[in-house]
Amino acid sequence: MSNFIVDNNGIKRYLVTINVNGIEYTKVVKANTLLVNFLREELDLTGTKKGCELGDCGSCTVLLEGKPVNSCLILAIEADGMKVTTIEGVASTANLDNIQEKFLEYGAIQCGYCSAGMILSAKALLTENPKPTEEEVRAGISGNLCRCTGYINIIKAIMAASGQEVMN
Amino acid sequence: MEGIRYPKENTLYKKKEYTQIGQSKPRIDGVSKATGAGKYCGDLKFPNMLYGKMLTSPHAHAKILSIDTSAAEKIPGVIKVITHKDVPSLKYGISPARWDENVLCIDKVRFVGDKVAAVACVDEETCYKALKAIKVEYEVLPAVLNYRTAMNEDMPQIHDEYPRNINTEIHQLFGDVDKALEEAYHVRTDVFEGQRTYQCPIEPHSAISIWKDNKLTVYSSTQSVHYFQYYIAREFGLKMGDVRVIRPLVGGGFGGKLEPTGLEFNGAVLSKLTGRPVKMFYDRAEMFAHNRGRHQGHYEITTGVTKEGKILAAKANFVLDGGAYTSLGIATAYYAGGLLPLTYDFENYQFDLMRMYTNLPACGAQRGHGAPQPKYAFESHLDNVARDLGIDPIEIRKRNARQPNTNTCNGMGIQSCHLTEALEKIETITDWKAKKEKGLPKGRGIGMATGSFVTGAGYPIYRNDYPSSSCMVRVNEDGTSATLYANAIDIGQGSDTVLCQMTAEAMGYRYENMKIVTGDTETAPLDFGAYSSRQTAYCGWACKRAGEEIKAKILETAGFMMHLPPEDLECEEGIIFSKSRPKVEPITFEEAAKKYFIIKGPLVGTGVYTVPRLGGYHKGAPVATSPSYSFCTQAAEVQVDEETGEVDVIHAWDVHDAGQIINPALMKGQVHGAFGMGISETIMEEVVFNKDGKIINPDVGGYRIITALDMPDFTNDLIPSNDEPATPWGLKEIGEGSNNPTMGAVRNAIYDAIGVNVASLPLSYEKVWRAIKEKKEKEQAAK
Tell which phi-psi region holds residue B306, choosing left (phi > 0), alpha (psi between -120 and 50) or beta: beta
> Do B42-141+209-250+257-281 and B296-458+616-782 come out as alike in CATH topology?
no
Whole-number average pLDDT of chain B: 96
Residue B65 has pLDDT above 50, yes or no: yes
Q: What is the spatial distance between Cα B514 and Cα B525, in angstroms, rounded to a whole number?
A: 18
Nearest CA among B548, B461, B534 for reference residue B498? B534
Going by pLDDT thresholds of 50, 70 and 90, the confidence category of residue A168 is: low
Same domain membership, residue A150 and residue A74: no
Which residues neighbour B657 within 8 Å (Cβ) at sequence distance 6 or greater? B416, B417, B418, B419, B421, B422, B630, B631, B632, B718, B719, B721, B732
B212-264 tens-digit pLDDT: 999 999 999 999 999 999 999 999 999 999 999 999 999 999 999 999 999 99
Q: Which of A111, A118, A156 to mutate to test the interface with B (most CBs of B within 10 A)?
A: A111
Specify if A167 maps to a domain. no
Residue B13 has pLDDT above 50, yes or no: no
Residue B16 has pLDDT above 80, yes or no: no
Q: Nearest C-alpha of chain B: how many angstroms from A144?
A: 7
Q: Nearest by CB to A100, which of B27, B34, B709?
A: B34
Q: Nearest C-alpha of chain B: how many angstroms from A21?
A: 13
Specify if A49 maps to a domain. yes
With CB atoms and an 8 Å threshold, state whether A148 touches B492.
Answer: yes
Instruction: Residue A31: list chain B partners with CB under 8 A.
Output: none
Domain B42-141+209-250+257-281 is classified in which CATH homologous superfamily?
A: Aldehyde oxidase/xanthine dehydrogenase, a/b hammerhead (3.90.1170.50)
For chain B, the distance separating the N- and C-terminal CA atoms, rounded to the nearest angstrom, is: 88
Structure confidence at residue B1 (pLDDT)? 38
With CB atoms and an 8 Å threshold, state whether B672 touches A139.
Answer: no
The answer to whether the Cα torsion of B228, B90, B361, B278 is positive or negative is positive
Same domain membership, residue A83 and residue A108: no
Q: What is the spatial distance between Cα A97 and Cα A66, in angstroms, rounded to a whole number?
A: 16
Interface A-B: count of C-beta contacts within 8 A: 172
Q: Nearest by CB to B711, which of A100, A115, A151?
A: A151
A74-87 tens-digit pLDDT: 999 999 999 999 99
Tell which phi-psi region holds residue B213, choosing left (phi > 0), alpha (psi between -120 and 50) or beta: left
Specify if A168 maps to a domain. no
Q: Nearest C-alpha of chain B: how many angstroms from A155?
A: 8
Q: What DSSP element (H or E) covers B566?
A: none
> B131 and B363 in contact (C-beta within 8 Å)?
no
A113-141 tens-digit pLDDT: 999 999 999 999 999 999 999 999 999 99
Structure confidence at residue B582 (pLDDT)? 87
Structure confidence at residue B97 (pLDDT)? 83
B719-748 tens-digit pLDDT: 999 999 999 999 999 999 999 999 999 999
End position of a domain, from candidates A63, A89, A115: A89
Nearest CA among B166, A50, A8, B270 for reference residue A41? A50
Structure confidence at residue B5 (pLDDT)? 45
CB atoms within 10 A of CB A52: 23
Q: What is the spatial distance between Cα A75 and Cα A6, in angstroms, rounded to a whole number?
A: 18
pTM across the whole model: 0.96
Instruction: Residue B202: list chain A partners with CB under 8 A.
Output: 49, 51, 57, 59, 111, 113-114, 145-147
Q: Nearest by CB to B251, which of A56, A111, A152?
A: A111
Specify if A80 maps to a domain. yes
Q: Nearest C-alpha of chain A: how many angstroms from B371?
A: 19
End position of a domain, from candidates A89, A115, A143: A89
Minimum CA–CA partner of A136 in chain B = B709
The pLDDT > 70 percentage for chain B reads 98
End position of a domain, from candidates A33, A61, A89: A89
Name beta bridge partners: B486: B471, B518
Instruction: Residue A33: list chain B partners with CB under 8 A.
Output: none
Q: Where in the sequence is the domain holding A114, given as residue range(s)?
A: 98-161
In degrees, rounded to 5, the angle at the alpha carbon of residue B734 between the alpha carbons of residues B371 and B530 is 80
Same domain membership, residue A149 and residue A85: no
Specify if A133 maps to a domain. yes
Residue B150 has pLDDT above 60, yes or no: yes
Mean pLDDT value of segment B70-85: 98
Classified by CATH at the fold level, domain B296-458+616-782 comes out as Aldehyde Oxidoreductase; domain 4 (3.30.365)
Mean pLDDT value of segment B55-78: 98
Structure confidence at residue B15 (pLDDT)? 46
Q: Nearest by CB to B700, which of A87, A138, A145?
A: A145
Which residues neighbour B99 within 8 Å (Cβ) at sequence distance 6 or greater? B91, B92, B93, B326
Same domain membership, residue A49 and residue A109: no
Same domain membership, residue A120 and residue A65: no
Name beta bridge partners: B66: B137
Count of domains for chain A = 2
Structure confidence at residue B95 (pLDDT)? 86
In degrees, rounded to 5, the angle at the alpha carbon of residue B682 between the alpha carbons of residues B678 and B686 is 105
> B252 and A147 in contact (C-beta within 8 Å)?
yes
B591-644 tens-digit pLDDT: 999 999 999 999 999 999 999 999 999 999 999 999 999 999 999 999 999 999
> B337 and B351 in contact (C-beta within 8 Å)?
yes
CATH of segment(s) B30-38+468-609: 3.30.365.10
A24-46 tens-digit pLDDT: 999 999 999 999 999 999 999 99
Q: Where are the domains of chain B?
A: 30-38+468-609, 42-141+209-250+257-281, 296-458+616-782
Instruction: Residue A87: list chain B partners with CB under 8 A.
Output: 35-36
Q: What is the spatial distance between Cα B300 and Cα B315, in angstroms, rounded to a whole number?
A: 8
Instruction: Residue B40: list chain A partners with CB under 8 A.
Output: 46, 49, 113
Name beta bridge partners: B527: B469
User: Would the ipTM clear 0.95, i.e. be above it?
Assistant: yes
With CB atoms and an 8 Å threshold, state whether B204 touches A40.
Answer: no
Mean pLDDT value of segment B692-705: 97
Specify if A166 maps to a domain. no
Q: Nearest C-alpha of chain A: how many angstroms from B617?
A: 37
Q: What is the spatial distance between Cα B405 and Cα B313, in angstroms, rounded to a whole number?
A: 21
> B114 and B324 in contact (C-beta within 8 Å)?
yes
With CB atoms and an 8 Å threshold, state whether B677 touches A116.
Answer: no
Nearest CA among B672, B29, B254 for reference residue A155? B672
Q: Nearest C-alpha of chain A: how many angstroms from B47?
A: 13
Q: What is the spatial distance between Cα B223 and Cα B199, in angstroms, rounded to a whole number?
A: 13
Q: What DSSP element (H or E) covers B397?
A: helix B393-400
Name beta bridge partners: A67: A64
Q: Which of B51, B202, B671, B710 to mutate to test the interface with A (most CBs of A within 10 A)?
A: B202
Distances in Å between the alpha carbon of B443 and those of B88, B435, B439, B678, B753?
A: 59, 13, 11, 22, 5
> B507 and A125 in contact (C-beta within 8 Å)?
no
Q: Nearest C-alpha of chain A: how many angstroms from B395?
A: 30
Q: What is the spatial distance between Cα B599 and Cα B602, in angstroms, rounded to a whole number?
A: 9
B410-469 tens-digit pLDDT: 999 999 999 999 999 999 999 999 999 999 999 999 999 999 999 999 999 999 999 999
Going by pLDDT thresholds of 50, 70 and 90, the confidence category of residue B2 is: very low
Q: Which of B27, B28, B35 to mutate to test the interface with A (most CBs of A within 10 A)?
A: B35
Beta-sheet strands, E only, within B9-114: 50-56, 62-68, 78-82, 108-109
Structure confidence at residue B3 (pLDDT)? 42
Structure confidence at residue B551 (pLDDT)? 98
Structure confidence at residue B772 (pLDDT)? 94
Going by pLDDT thresholds of 50, 70 and 90, the confidence category of residue B716 is: very high
> B605 and B493 in contact (C-beta within 8 Å)?
no
Q: Nearest by CB to A142, which of B204, B665, B707?
A: B707
Longest dimension (CA), chain A: 62
Residue B351 has pLDDT above 70, yes or no: yes
Domain CATH code at residue A113:
1.10.150.120
Specify if A56 maps to a domain. yes
Residue B568 has pLDDT above 90, yes or no: yes
Instruction: Residue A53: list chain B partners with CB under 8 A.
Output: 283-284
Give the count of alpha carbons within 13 A of B466, CB side only. 17
Q: What is the spatial distance between Cα B252 and Cα B205, in angstroms, rounded to a whole number?
A: 10
Q: Nearest C-alpha of chain B: how many angstroms from A156?
A: 11
With CB atoms and an 8 Å threshold, state whether A113 touches B676.
Answer: no
Structure confidence at residue A166 (pLDDT)? 83
Q: What is the spatial distance between Cα B716 and Cα B425, in angstroms, rounded to a whole number?
A: 11
Q: Nearest C-alpha of chain B: how many angstroms from A81?
A: 24
Structure confidence at residue B10 (pLDDT)? 45
Domain CATH code at residue A21:
3.10.20.30
Instruction: Specify the 3-state DSSP secondary structure of B6.
Output: coil
The pLDDT > 90 percentage for chain A reads 90
B368-425 tens-digit pLDDT: 999 999 999 999 999 999 999 999 999 999 999 999 999 999 999 999 999 999 999 9
Structure confidence at residue B327 (pLDDT)? 96
With CB atoms and an 8 Å threshold, state whether A54 touches B699.
Answer: yes
Backbone φ and ψ for B474, nearest 5 degrees, come out as -125, 130
With CB atoms and an 8 Å threshold, state whether B708 touches A149.
Answer: no
Mean pLDDT value of segment A95-105: 96
Structure confidence at residue A9 (pLDDT)? 84
With CB atoms and an 8 Å threshold, state whether B36 touches A54.
Answer: no
Same domain membership, residue A85 and residue A102: no
In degrees, rounded to 5, the angle at the alpha carbon of residue A163 between the alpha carbons of residues A157 and A167 is 55
Cα B253 to the center of its chain, rounded Å: 8
